[in-house]
Structure 1
Amino acid sequence: MPEPGAIRAVTFDLDFTLWDLEHVIQRAEERMQRFLAARYPRVAECYDAEAMRQLRMEVAEAHPELRINVSAMRRASLRRIAMTCGYGEDMVEAAFEVFMEGRHEVHPYDDVVPVLERLRPHYRIGAVSNGNADVHRLQLGAYFDFSVSAIEVGAAKPSRIIFEAACHRAGVTPAEMVHVGDEVHSDVVGAVRYGMGAVWLNRRGEPWPDDLAPLPYVELADLSRLPTVLARW
């Protein structure tokens, strides 16, 4: 674990750490389906919401190389739909953009903005995500100095590649950075193995996985104590 007082930067996972992803995706997909029904009506004749979900699962299984690029995976499933229904690439891109508009209509958890405001004067703040949300498309982006995504670097958490990119962007060593995230394997294990500090944001009160040995990390139920934890690191 880094030496006390050594922390110069903090990174955050996004989905399920700063906002609830489940409802965001549900609303984004509903918006996209309404758009397709209005602009490309043959889609609604061939696919309902469940059929689209099943198709995405089939694409993911058939193309494991796309799993670190969720945007490419969604485009691939839309491309299959377009081909089946007799539409072209214009449908793929139009539907994807409508989905992404909804993807960025997020509602941060109540503790997020107050904590970012407290951290902003003291640390470089970054986002490190395996998803396709761009924090700089959000009002929250004003609090972030940089972001790194799996899509951008071609490697997903827990790979050291994405954490290395984050340290490079922040201009710090791993020992000077703490990563905060909700997912044990991706966020905590990945950060610790790279030599960073790790905070497990366990909003759901889940137990530590049986298949993992104990690691040097801090567990928080919400973000309210994070500034104090970082100051004492």
Structure 2
Amino acid sequence: MALKLITLDLDNTLWETDPVILRAEKASFDYLVQSCPAVADLYDADSFNQYRKDLAECYPSLRHQVSKLRLETLRRVCLQIGCDRDEAARIADEAFAVFYAERSRLDLFEGALEALQLMSDQYPLIALTNGNANTEQAGIRHLLVEHFNAEQTGAAKPAPDLFLAALQHAGVEAHEVLHIGDHPEQDIDAARKLGMQTLWVNVLGQSWPDNQLPPQWQLDHWRDLPSLLSRLVASLETHD
């Protein structure tokens, strides 16, 4: 069995995401309050984020459109304090730009860039993400043949849409693909159900859920990728 494609998740697979999002949300909210001080009479940072989550619950189609959801939240809050539609749209765009600039300042896990370079020399790489990370600003876009996100495909992992988009783009079968990711359900279980090989990245030291089959392969530090990939490929070849 030959390996022909590697797909990989981004957030919490190549970098730690939560601190980045918190920083970006604070910068965006601070900009919003600076532009429209009346916002502070209605929301603090926590209640503002809760309002965004409430919108996602009310409008399920926005759940996987993370950029659109943030923009819509900003726009609605501006309308709530009395901005006209054009002003609300302008301020929302500006506040989101602040968010996205901070969200795109990413520090890859130690050894991750070198591992990506190694893999891209041997296989086509396709990024599959539920988020909206900017791979150009992360400095890895040149290593990817394609980058699909949930907003493009219309559904977030663990739905199969992102994986199927990669298979179609590369023209390969599921069993010829290795998917690499951090999330037990959204990455590993979802890819395995489609027949892909799977590699669980556990740099952040998660506990594997008791109710799921253990991962086929596990990576605790990106520096171990070269030897692990060699063993993984050798194992596949023995099943030809």
TM-score by length of 1: 0.90
CA distance in 1, matches of 2:187, 2:154: 17
- Which residue of structure 1 lines up, in the alignment, with residue 134 of structure 2? 134
2:52 to 33, 52, 56: 56
CA distance in 2, matches of 1:185, 1:178: 16
Residue 105 of structure 2 contacts residue 137 of structure 2 at CA under 8 Å; is this kept in 1? no
CA distance in 1, matches of 2:141, 2:154: 22
CA distance in 1, matches of 2:226, 2:145: 17
List aligned pairs for 1:16-35, cutoff 5 A. 16-35=12-31
Residue 109 of structure 2 contacts residue 222 of structure 2 at CA under 8 Å; is this kept in 1? no
List aligned pairs for 1:172-183, cutoff 5 A. 172-183=172-183
CA distance in 1, matches of 2:43, 2:215: 47
CA distance in 2, matches of 1:231, 1:170: 22
> SS in structure 2 opposite 1:147?
strand
- Which residue of structure 2 lines up, in the alignment, with residue 8 of structure 1? 4
Tell me which moved more, 149-158 or 162-171: 162-171
Cα RMSD (Å): 1.7
Identical-residue share of aligned pairs (%) = 34
Residue 110 of structure 2 contacts residue 223 of structure 2 at CA under 8 Å; is this kept in 1? no
Deviations 1:5-45 (A, max 9, x none): x1122121111111111111111112212322332332234
> SS in structure 2 opposite 1:211?
coil
Tell me which moved more, 67-76 or 9-18: 67-76
* 2:210 is the alignment partner of 1:230: no
Specify every segment of 5 or more residues in structure 1 that has no aligned partner in the other structure, as ranges. none
- Which residue of structure 2 lines up, in the alignment, with residue 41 of structure 1? 37
Deviation at residue 169 of structure 1 after TM alignment: 2.3
List aligned pairs for 1:96-115, cutoff 5 A. 96-115=96-115
Residue 10 of structure 1 contacts residue 177 of structure 1 at CA under 8 Å; is this kept in 2? yes
Distance 1:48-1:216 versus aligned 2 partners, 3 A rule: closer
- Which residue of structure 2 lines up, in the alignment, with residue 125 of structure 1? 125
> SS in structure 2 opposite 1:7?
coil
Residue 9 of structure 1 contacts residue 178 of structure 1 at CA under 8 Å; is this kept in 2? yes
Deviations 1:156-183 (A, max 9, x none): 1122221010122233222221111100
Task: Give the AA of the match of 1:145.
Answer: V
Deviation at residue 210 of structure 1 after TM alignment: 2.0
* 2:199 is the alignment partner of 1:199: yes
Specify every segment of 5 or more residues in structure 2 that has no aligned partner in the other structure, as ranges. 234-240
Distance 1:20-1:38 versus aligned 2 partners, 3 A rule: same
Task: Give the AA of the match of 1:222.
Answer: H
Deviations 1:61-92 (A, max 9, x none): 22223211111221222122111112221122
1:77 to 73, 83, 89: 73
Residue 192 of structure 1 contacts residue 215 of structure 1 at CA under 8 Å; is this kept in 2? no
Task: Give the AA of the match of 1:228.
Answer: S
Distance 1:32-1:216 versus aligned 2 partners, 3 A rule: closer
Residue 199 of structure 2 contacts residue 215 of structure 2 at CA under 8 Å; is this kept in 1? no
Deviations 1:115-149 (A, max 9, x none): 11222211111110011113134312222121111
Deviations 1:186-216 (A, max 9, x none): 000111111111111122333331222x256
- Which residue of structure 2 lines up, in the alignment, with residue 221 of structure 1? 220
Residue 7 of structure 1 contacts residue 230 of structure 1 at CA under 8 Å; is this kept in 2? no
